[in-house]
Structure 1
Amino acid sequence: MFGAGLAGGAAAWRLAARDRAVVLVEAATPAHAGGSSHGSARIFRHAYDDPFFVGLTVRALRGWRQLEAESARSILATTGGLDAGPRGGLEGIAAALAAHGLESALLDSHAAREQWPQLAFDGPVLHQPDAGVIDAAVAVDAMVSEARRHGAEVLLGDRVVAVEQRGDGALVHLEHGRAIAASTVVVAAGAWLPELAAALPVEVAERLPPLTVTQQQVFHFPFPAPPARPADWPVFVHRGEHMVYSLPGGRDAGGTGFKIAEHDGGVRTSASTRDGVVDPASRDRIVDFVRRFLPAVDATPYAETTCLYTSTGNEDFVIDRIGPVVIASPCSGHGAKFAPVLGDLIADVATGGSAPERFRLTAHAGGSTR
């Protein structure tokens, strides 16, 4: 398999734990800064209005706690989470949470402000206490280490240049000259997947669904006062004209503030041509948001960066098999929280099972990547 980000690392861990022979190939290093799995701050949350995804978050949480126990590392810090905004659909989220026995509370703006005085939301707020922050880099390192512990071989600094179908299996050709015979090849290449299509068997390349790679803008602002405990600064999602999300920044950008970004404000790009230049229009919108909804915060970002989304048309994931090749593109800007259960789903498909119907290729529009 190739790609040692959150999805690929999770799949390697889960497959190796099932006593499968695994070779994990990564062109750079696990969770490198050019991909979508780096850094110390990704949101974990149950708050979806779709019971299907809520159910996956429940399974993922069990997986995160298992990974922490097996690796003896701290990966997921619980802060609680808030959902707000005029497009919030809070009743639907609360209903989906309740369907899975998960706690939530709908607060008016006054009650929310009393509990979180740094936030000035002007409408109802849904609180879900189990949300938190995933340390993505530590998670990937732990998953790759656990895969190694279960016998996986990990090849770093080499890239796949061709996947040749051989009977029921495949021969994977690497840039440095090695060829690996495999019964199954898992492609978890993140934003590089559209560009790798030419290296895959023709039947695979032709059946890949449309995938859009965007460069997202991420900003860091200082805490108005250091939180005394994680729950003092919850993760939040605000659905207004744009969807804005925020979470404590962890080690990222010096670890002295919170991270905030638009979920839907990306600029079309590709993994190899991204310029890393922050879109000034996104910066202006985020600064305005901070001024309005976090009035105690200095509305000047002290750090900013970019990251990559690889999205399907409906933000569902792609996990399916074509011959000996398993395609795994579980991003669309919200895949990180699901990594352990994604590892299970990818491992299921790689060992003869199937993914949920909505993740299969037949559920996505046909055609080549764009």
Structure 2
Amino acid sequence: MARQIDTLVVGGGSTGTAAAWRLAARGVEVAVLERRPEHPAHRAGESLDAALAPEGSFVSTAHSDTVLLPLVADSVRLWRELEEQVGSVVLRRVGGLRHGDDPALDEVAVVAPRFGIDAERVDPAGTRWPRVRLDTAAVWSPATSAVGVEHATARLRVAARQNAAEFRFGTAVTRIRVLGDDRALVEAVPVDEGGARVGLAEEWECRRLVVSLGAWTTKLIGPLVVLPRLTVSRVETATLVASDGSPEPIPVLEHRRSPRDPRFGHWLAPRLVAVPVPGGVEISWLGDGPAAGRAVRDPDARPARPPRQAASALARYTREWLPSLQPSETTPLRSSLHTVARDGRFVIDRVGPVSVAVGFSDHGLTFAPAVGELLADLAEGIRAPAPFSLRPGLRAGAAASGSPVASGAPAASAPVASAPSPSPSRS
């Protein structure tokens, strides 16, 4: 017999966990199903800093998009609210520098302050950041913060549990059936760390279903919801050590190359991001839009080896632009998956009982609390901003007109077919 629950969240990453936190804060009965096991320290809520690897991400406030800037402001507010609730620091405010051949720099410095976000142009010749070499004028955003991915997600989980949210780890969703506008049936199976099934399937019946699966979104709900084309890319990251052992060697950096400048001929992508982590810096090549990294057809497939030149290109970049770090041609690389829609816009919308959030690329943590709030709104029938719609016409029209917000009408209940997922998928 299926277990009855008001709202079920599939995917226990930062966005899904934030959604559970915001839903539970409103008094909604909510459970989260997550394929991965839970680290023992997560459950205890103790010694998280020591238990979690310093996988770095960042909350960037250096935006010029008038659709995204309200979400930035909401996210910063909600991150602070989270810190107050759990009594722990989540955001390490180190500031951010955005520089290079970036046509949006002037606009960032003008538009962001209109939304209460500090941003200013700075001269590359100054000595304000002696550990960083700038090739152009830059935008400085003092509120940009470094964040540990697992650390932040664990804190969101603590807050959600304080509000009575339930989490089921080691649980993979294998089938979703939509039974009506206010009813969905979800089949899930227990799995081990490698994803192998280790027990009997169980069923959950819910009034609302929230799906936040990143790279696995299309694989699980593609037969149910007409999604915009999503591209999954594999991005390589290296952790470099500060030569003087400084715990905060640089601010968060976003550096864009000039395609006409031969100095950037060795770059593997148009953009590089560097995030300070304890004892060093995590540095990644990133693309734009669908070309965010190496294309991935199946997120469950064994990852291909990083390009041979990836480590050497990062080492060369470090020598030229971040001389305080210690580069190495043999620096190990860590891979992660980024997902983005073809038009570059986020997807945050609801069809019948199913709400979905996907397409955040490297900005997932920046917007996680605000997107969680929007997902909680969708569950109550409040539409998300129109550019994030699943409807192509509404999505394109709102983006073209510059109008970030649709009417307050309830979310659409377009016909949805029932279909199984193609295979056990990560949640």
> Per the alignment, in what secondary structure is the counterpart of residue 291 of structure 1?
helix
Map of 1:87 onto structure 2: 102
Runs of 5+ consecutive residues of structure 1 not aligned to the other structure: 251-255, 366-370
Q: How far, CA to CA, are the matches of 1:158 and 1:316 in structure 2? A: 30
**1:10 maps to what in 2?**
18
Give deviations 1:244-276, integer Å, cap 9, x for gaps.
1101124xxxxx310111111511113201416
Q: Which residue of 2 aligns with 1:24?
A: 32
Report the counterpart of residue 280 of structure 1 in structure 2.
308
Gap change, CA 1:38 and 1:356, over 3 Å in 2: farther
Equivalent position to 1:331, from 347, 360, 371:
360
* More displaced 10-residue stretch of structure 1: 210-219 or 290-299: 290-299
Q: Secondary structure at the match of 1:343?
A: helix
Equivalent position amino acid for 1:105 in 2: E
3-state SS of 1:52 partner: coil
Any residues of structure 2 matched to 1:100-119 within 5 Å, and which?
A: 100-111=115-126, 114-119=127-132
Are the counterparts in 2 of residues 330 and 342 from structure 1 also a CA contact under 8 Å?
no
Cα deviation, residue 125, structure 1? 1.7
Report deviation, 1:327. Answer: 1.2
Partner Cα separation in structure 1 for residue 74 and residue 165 of structure 2: 24
Q: Which amino acid aligns with 1:344?
A: E
Residue-pair matches, total: 347
Matches within 5 A, 1:221-300: 221-227=240-246, 230=248, 233-240=250-257, 241=259, 242-250=270-278, 256-264=279-287, 266-269=293-296, 270-275=298-303, 277-300=305-328
**Hey, what's the Cα distance between the residues in 2 that align with 1:307 and 1:166?**
35
Alpha-carbon separation, structure 1, partners of 2:343 and 2:39: 26
Query: Displacement of 1:38 after TM fit?
Result: 8.2
Cα distance in 1 for partners of 2:241, 2:119 equals 28
Does residue 158 (structure 1) correspond to residue 180 (structure 2)? The answer is no
Distance in 1, matches of 2:239 and 2:281, equals 6
**Map of 1:253 onto structure 2:** none
Which shows bigger deviation, 287-296 or 302-311? 287-296
Structure 2 counterpart of 1:213: 232
Aligned counterpart for 2:344 among listed residues 315, 318, 329: 315
Change (3 A) 1:66 1:330: farther
* In structure 2, distance between residues paired with 1:16 and 1:39: 28
- Share of identical aligned residues, percent? 28
* Residue 186 of structure 2 corresponds to residue 172 of structure 1: yes
Letter in 1 for 2:214: G
Verify the 8 A CA contact 1:31 1:38 in the aligned structure 2.
Answer: no
C-alpha deviations, 1:272-327, integer Å up to 9, x for none? 01416222233333222222212343321643211110111132211111111111
Structure 2 Cα separation of the partners of residues 85 and 136 of structure 1? 26
Preserved contact between residue 31 and residue 137 of structure 1 (Cα < 8 Å): no
Task: Tell me what 2:154 maps to.
Answer: 141
**What residue identity is the alignment partner of 1:189?**
L
Residue deviations 1:125-148, cap 9 Å, x none? 221111111122122112222222
Selected match of 2:211 from 187, 212, 215: 187
Spell out, residue by residue over 1:76-107, the C-alpha distance to the aligned partner (whole angstroms, 9 max, x if none).
Answer: 00001101102253111101212223323322
Instruction: Give 5+ residue unaligned stretches, structure 2.
Output: 1-8, 41-51, 190-199, 260-269, 397-427
Provide the C-alpha distance between the structure 2 equivalents of 1:2 and 1:30, rounded to a whole number of angstroms.
Answer: 15
- Report the CA distance shift for 1:107/1:346 in structure 2 as closer, same or farther (over 3 A): same
Alpha carbons 2:10, 2:211 under 8 Å: kept: yes
Q: Contact 2:108–2:119 (CA<8 Å) still a contact in 1?
A: no
**Secondary structure, aligned partner of 2:232:** strand
Which deviations, in whole Å up to 9, do the C-alpha atoms of 1:186-212 show, x marking residues without a partner?
A: 1111111121136xxx4x34x111111
Contact 1:277–1:306 (Cα < 8 Å) also in 2: no
**Aligned-partner Cα distance in 2 for 1:167–1:104:** 47
1:143-187 CA deviation, whole Å, 9 max, x = no partner? 222222222221111111111122331111112321111011111
Instruction: Note the aligned Cα RMSD (angstroms).
Output: 2.2
The residue identity in structure 2 corresponding to 1:77 is R
What is the TM-score with the length of structure 2 in the denominator?
A: 0.76
Q: Give SS of 1:9's match.
A: helix
The alignment partner of 2:67 has SS state of: helix
Q: Is the 8 A contact 2:54 2:277 kept in 1?
A: no
Q: Which amino acid aligns with 1:180?
A: W
Change (3 A) 1:297 1:277: same
Distance 1:173 1:86, change over 3 A: same
Question: In structure 2, what is the Cα distance between the partners aligned to 1:345 and 1:7?
Answer: 11
Q: Indicate which of 351, 354, 361 corresponds to 2:390.
A: 361
2:237·2:284 contact (CA, 8 Å) conserved in 1?
yes
